[in-house]
Amino acid sequence: MKLHPQFPYALYLVISHEACKGKDMIQVAQQAIRGGVDIIQLREKKASEKLFLQRAQQLRELTEKHNVPLIINDNPKVASQVNAAGIHVGNRDSRPALLRKKPYFKERIIGYSIEYLSQLDNEQTATSDYLGISPVFRTDTKKDTVTEWGLEGISKIRQLTTKPLVGIGNLHQQNAGSVIRAGADCIAVVSAICGAEDPEKAAYELKNAILR
Ligand SMILES: Cc1ncc(COP(=O)(O)OP(=O)(O)O)c(N)n1
Ligand SMILES: Cc1ncsc1CCOP(=O)(O)O
Ligand SMILES: [Mg+2]
């Protein structure tokens, strides 16, 4: 597979304390980096702002050491407080076009979730650096979703935009290759790595399935 020049990452870990199910989140992230994860998003939907910030700071130390970009989900304040590489937002969050006007986000990565085809024509998509195809397949990790895009949805979106496409939602070693072949540039996972017995091995095998 060929990496997208504007988003040269193939395997994207979306992590939270909760998804690690009792394991230490920083250790899971460290193992995942060893296994080949290229970029990490911290997605804390239930933590207080204080805990979110603490976890973001810990993850930032680790990712900085390994030169892995850290993306913060939803929260621009936490992103700038930890000097993150960027932010991921959806339709119920801060708008990419408004974020882009803030000095902090001028040169940072902004990811935007695609839930409706009509979003491809909006200003938010135009100002974003990558699009999350959300979800590719229905998943228990995020239940408030709209469109289950499937492989056909990815192919369709691929024909309509040259933006980097990140597939997310119930992706694992067995379907990662087909998601890339359908037109995605990158695979994002929560459970396939955070919930794995051996996160390093899970990341390594996923990476191989993507690059094969
Ligand atoms: C890479 C990636 N793609 C999509 C999402 C979903 O974002 P959003 O629609 O804002 O939903 P929440 O994650 O906030 O529940 C994502 N986080 N990452
Ligand atoms: C954050 C997010 N956005 C769309 S699906 C999803 C969760 C993906 O989790 P999993 O990889 O466990 O299916
Ligand atoms: Mg969001």
Mutate to test the pocket of ligand 2, among 139, 179, 189 (most ligand atoms within 8 A of CB): 139
- pLDDT 10s digits, 41-94: 999 999 999 999 999 999 999 999 999 999 999 999 999 999 999 999 999 999
Alpha carbon of 27 to those of 23, 52, 56, 70, 201: distances in Å? 8, 17, 14, 15, 14
Complex-level ipTM: 0.99
| Domain boundaries, position 61 | 11-211
What is the model's pLDDT at position 212? 84
Asked whether residue 5 is domain-assigned, the answer is: no
Spell out which residues have Cβ within 5 A of ligand 3, the ion: 74, 90, 93
Tokens of 71: 């993306």
Asked whether residue 2 is domain-assigned, the answer is: no
Asked whether residue 3 is domain-assigned, the answer is: no
Binding-site residue ranges for Mg(2+):
74, 93
- What stretch of H or E contains 207? helix 199-211
Q: How far apart are CA 191 and CA 116, in angstroms?
A: 24
| CA of 187, nearest ligand number | 1
Residue 103 CB coordination number (10 Å): 7
Asked whether residue 4 is domain-assigned, the answer is: no
Asked whether residue 55 is domain-assigned, the answer is: yes
Return the residue matching tokens 């995605």.
184
Asked whether residue 134 is domain-assigned, the answer is: yes
Q: What is the CATH number of the domain that holds 137?
A: 3.20.20.70
Asked whether residue 191 is domain-assigned, the answer is: yes
How many domains is the chain partitioned into structurally? 1
- pLDDT 10s digits, 86-123: 999 999 999 999 999 999 999 999 999 999 999 999 99
